[in-house]
Chains A and B, each alone.
Chain A
Amino acid sequence: MIAIQATNLSKAYGFYRIFEDLSFEIRAGECFALFGPNGAGKTTLLRILATLQQPSHGQFSVFGQDGVTEKDLVRQSLMVIAHGSHLYDELTGFENLQFALALRGQAFDPKTLKYGLDRVGIGAFGDLKIRQYSAGMKKRLALAKVVIGKPKLLLLDEPYNALDEAGVTMTNLIIQQTLAREGAVLMTTHDRDKAAHVATRGGILQSGHLQHLTREQLT
């Protein structure tokens, strides 16, 4: 089953072109690691796939749903962990988790939510306001969303930033769980070593083109 199918994706900001004619596919059960220098357009590509930006040209589909015309269906199947934590400072960790999942149309009983927090190791801080969380704890809370929300497609923008060693292991574990239930993962990262544990495929986005990596290059 094909998770992401992109055909001739191009993005230009006004008259400045970031990338052109990207075509690739990612299958269910695959974790694709996207490398590349700063400013190559990795985050832009991720944001387009997350339906946060429109491609200038080209199409893409997520599990068969068109990414431009059927945005809401695409949004139902994906989850994004990006630079911004998507958390409200005045709400507690527990409430943030509850709110974020409610917006995805998923209502869970408190016990499940609590379990999610425990799984990522911040169960003790569930009733603390996000204002008091550290960057790493926020990132873990985002992982808790994935643990409970079980998205079919996971888009990660620099997932290893701000995480300690245990956090990295946990991230990789959650990626593997997503793959195990026939989900797909796309991540951008600079950290080849950490990504090498979970990535099944990889590519370098550079000069506006995507260059696929062989298995040997990846590890």
Chain B
Amino acid sequence: MPFFKTIRWIVWKDLVCELRSRETISSMLFFALIVILVFSFSFSMDQDAARQLIAGIIWVSFTFTGIIGLGKSFSSELQNDCLEALQISPIPKGAVYLGKVLANFLFMLSVEILLFPLFILFFNLDVVEELGILLLVFLLATLGLSAVGTLFSALTVQIRAREVMLPVLLLPLAVPVMIAAVEATRGTLNGDPYAFYSQWIQLLVVFDIIFTVVSFWLFELILDS
């Protein structure tokens, strides 16, 4: 079975299932809304405080909602033993990985894009001039989270206490993504010149490449018996 066809089928399957049930995205959205509310209660922010904290708040809520989506990505395959069917299909397992990364990336990104206007609204942000760069940061950081997260979603789904273990294993490894995403977002929102935070974008690119490749090779070991 050709590599790219497999990717396409996996993405198609995940998207169609999601569009019909809307389980993952809606639970992510509601969770994120609650996180935002809790943050705004706990900091009671004026505009100056918001400017300091907002980048962190954005990425804490994006990361935690992302973990919900990532966890569902493989726990949904447990129903009717579908994971087994993926294991015994004569397909390149790396293609399954890339398909899942792509699907998770799309879910997380669409939630982020839906949420971002709410951040602007709730925290009185100035509408950003550098929206393109901000979008780039979102893309790169989400891809990084999705690349490592998909690997660990497949790993934790086959062990006990999987809901706990996914964040426990994933979050320490995602420290570079978190730092880089927060710093780059802060830079853009503050209206700093690009050169001030370009290093973080480069770090995200490097992280994405390294961990897509490493996870791609390791994924086969996890999915296969």
Contacts and interface: CB of A to CB of B under 8 A. Distances in A.
Interface in B1-58: 1, 5-6, 9, 13, 16-17, 20-21
Given A90-B17, A99-B13, A75 B89 contact: yes
A51 interface: yes
Interface residues of B, number: 23
B17 A102 contact: no
A17 interface: no
A63 B198 CA distance: 57
Nearest to B19: A90
B16 A85 contact: no
Given A52-B225, A71-B224, A88 B88 contact: no
B85 A103 contact: yes
Contacts of A89: 17, 79-80
Contacts of B106: none
A214 B159 CA distance: 43
B215 interface: no
Contacts, number: 75
Contacts of A87: 80, 82
B81 interface: yes
Contacts of A212: none
Contacts of A75: 88-90
Interface stretch (A76-84, A113-121, A180-188, A197-205): A76-84
B75 interface: no
Given A51-B225, A54-B225, A84 B80 contact: yes
B88 A51 contact: yes
Nearest to A79: B88
Contact of B82 (A52, A88, A102, A104): A88
Interface in B59-90: 79-82, 84-90
B134 interface: no
A103 B225 contact: no
Name, among B81, B85, B224, the residue most crowded by chain A CB atoms within 10 Å (CB to CB).
Answer: B85
A139 to B, nearest CB: 12
Given A84-B81, A86-B80, A99-B9, A91 B225 contact: no
A50 interface: yes
A54 B89 CA distance: 16
A52 B79 CA distance: 17
B88 A50 contact: yes
B91 interface: yes
B80 A103 contact: no
B16 A72 contact: no
Contacts of B21: 90
A40 B42 CA distance: 58
Contacts of A95: 16
A86 B1 CA distance: 19
B90 A72 contact: yes
B91 A85 contact: no
Interface of A: 50-54, 71-73, 75-76, 78, 80, 82-91, 95, 99-100, 102-105, 129-130, 138
Interface of B: 1, 5-6, 9, 13, 16-17, 20-21, 79-82, 84-91, 224-225
Given A72-B90, A89-B17, A129-B20, 14 more contacts: A51-B87, A51-B225, A52-B84, A52-B87, A54-B225, A73-B90, A80-B88, A84-B84, A86-B81, A87-B82, A91-B16, A95-B16, A103-B89, A103-B90
